[in-house]
Structure 1
Amino acid sequence: MTDLRIECAGEAALIVYLGSESSPAVAARVQALGDALRPALASALVDLIPSYASLLVLFDPLKSDRYHVSQCIRACIPDLATGTTNSGRLVEIPVYYSTESGEDLQSLADSKGLSVAEVIDIHSHQEYRVYAIGFAPGFAYLGDVDSRIAAPRLRTPRQKVPRGAVAIADRQTAVYPAVSPGGWNLIGRSPQRMFDPEATEPMPVHVGDRVRFRPIDRSAFLKAGGEL
């Protein structure tokens, strides 16, 4: 892999770059490397943090060192040549799409020369990959959004985006796991909790999973615990 780079990211961390830009193939290599490193590093591994085209490897300096971890990484690389790995689970997330629950839905449709129904249809018929989780616990970066409805971030971010807001920014889409500031285009709202620290499974999705959004009506949204 000519685009492989391993760089120091601290006294007990290395970051591995597996490509120059995000793509399903690069994301698959990131996931496959993580799967291979867990048994290779065993108890020396502290954590793995995947992103679009990189993997942060945190290790225990009392059990290993940068040289050994780097050698383990390079030993795993030949197995990643095909860029194939487990395709992950398919997770369905319900969404109440409307101008009531998605403040930017109408303006997005107008800017694209589409009807609101067409935007909803395009967004909900796409299958998305979980590329990374960050910004806030449970905030999953999903791609890739159909170019017909891709939209840049808002010029002025909102100070308060509601929990469950479904949004688009460029070729990414996401569900806000909690009330927070944000500059993405809001097109709907989901009753699905994206992060629950008290649950056995705190997050419904993980890096490498696939996501589809299922349209629901207002009544179903409220019945499932959604908030407007």
Structure 2
Amino acid sequence: MPASNRTRSPNHNLKATLRIVPLCDSAIAIEFENEIDPEINARVVAYARHVAYKGWSGILDIVPTYRSITIHFDPFQWDFAVLIDRLEGLSRHTVAEPESQAVLHEIPVLYGDEWGPDLEDVATFANLLPAQAVALHASIRYRVYMLGFSPGFPYLGLLHKALAMPRLSTPRMKVPAGSVGIADRQTGIYPSATPGGWRLIGRTPTILSRRTGPTPFLLKPGDLVQFRPIDRNEFDRLSREAPDENH
């Protein structure tokens, strides 16, 4: 792509609430309002999908977060000012999809005991019985705000304020794959066994990372998650039915 002779301010306004910030010679951030909000995140997800849909050569990766998007590009194919012009054009035509059109995933969870060793502490923090804490956690339809921390880890929100317990002061060295955790107003699922400091309240037999299929992860930003409490028998049955190659 031919280079442009124009120069831009490092923080070039697209709109009053949208700006581009250069991160390096091959990455930029598109920033929305600085808060966690489902409507803002819906705009982020819609914008990221719009960029991906264009299929522009030299765009290497598009990473949406709670309230911004990082775009990695080939600097030999893109001039920074030209890329900004393209993104400005998209900003005028991007409309967030209504939540009613989002993909809903039902995630079965075995809560408590060895699968959720922090459930009783979370319940005590919330001044609830463990069964009440489970019911409250499973009562909310969560939005997938972003993936991060480890590949495919979904940040889900917003958690009920009563359950918003801070992270552990000392992270665990290994958290089992499928663990469902809490950290402040967020809940999430560990796709693979990694260190982690979230409060573990349960575990799902659902596999989030896939070696086959159109996408590497079950969940994507903008999806919805509804947790469903299950017993040990159903957990064992679903675990046996899960693809062995991904454990």
TM-score of the superposed pair, with normalisation by structure 2: 0.85
Q: For 1:8-27, what aligned pairs fall within 5 Å after superposition?
A: 8-27=22-41
Residue 96 of structure 2 is aligned with which of 84, 97, 107?
Answer: 84
Partner of 1:28: 42
Residue 124 of structure 1 is aligned with which of 132, 135, 138?
Answer: 138
Q: Which amino acid aligns with 1:25?
A: E
Q: For 1:97-108, what aligned pairs fall within 5 Å after superposition?
A: 97-108=111-122
Contact 1:164 1:193 in 2 (8 A): yes
* Structure 1 residues 145-186: Cα deviation after superposition (integer angstroms, max 9, x where no partner): 011111110111111111111100001111111111111111
Partner of 2:179: 165
Structure 2 CA distance for aligned equivalents of residues 124 and 221 of structure 1: 16
* Structure 1 residues 54-111: Cα deviation after superposition (integer angstroms, max 9, x where no partner): 001122333321111111122222335xx63253211111101123311000111112
Q: Per-residue deviation at 1:199?
A: 4.8
Q: 1:196 to 1:36 in 2, by over 3 A?
A: closer
Contact 1:41 1:72 in 2 (8 A): no
Computed over aligned residues only, the root mean square deviation of the Cα atoms, in angstroms, reads: 1.9
Q: 1:78 to 1:144 in 2, by over 3 A?
A: same
Partner of 1:203: 217
Structure 2 CA distance for aligned equivalents of residues 23 and 70 of structure 1: 25
Partner of 1:192: 206
Aligned-partner SS, 1:109: helix
Moved over 3 A (4+): 198-201
Partner of 1:37: 51
Q: Per-residue deviation at 1:40?
A: 4.4
In the comparison of the two structures, how many residue pairs are matched?
225
- Verify: 1:6 aligned to 2:20, yes or no: yes
- Verify: 1:220 aligned to 2:234, yes or no: yes
Q: Which runs of 5+ in 2 are unaligned?
A: 1-14, 243-247
Q: 1:91 to 1:9 in 2, by over 3 A?
A: same
Aligned-partner SS, 1:132: strand
Contact 1:37 1:72 in 2 (8 A): no
Partner of 1:111: 125
Residue 50 of structure 1 is aligned with which of 40, 53, 64?
Answer: 64
Contact 2:176 2:193 in 1 (8 A): yes
Structure 2 CA distance for aligned equivalents of residues 191 and 171 of structure 1: 24
Which structure has more RCO (C-alpha within 8 Å, separation ≥ 6)? 1
Structure 2 CA distance for aligned equivalents of residues 135 and 43 of structure 1: 28
Q: Which amino acid aligns with 1:130?
A: V
* Larger displacement relative to structure 2 (94-103 or 139-148): 94-103
Structure 1 CA distance for aligned equivalents of residues 52 and 169 of structure 2: 42
Percent identical residues: 38
TM-score of the superposed pair, with normalisation by structure 1: 0.92
* Larger displacement relative to structure 2 (28-37 or 207-216): 28-37
Q: Which amino acid aligns with 1:202?
A: P
Aligned-partner SS, 1:27: helix
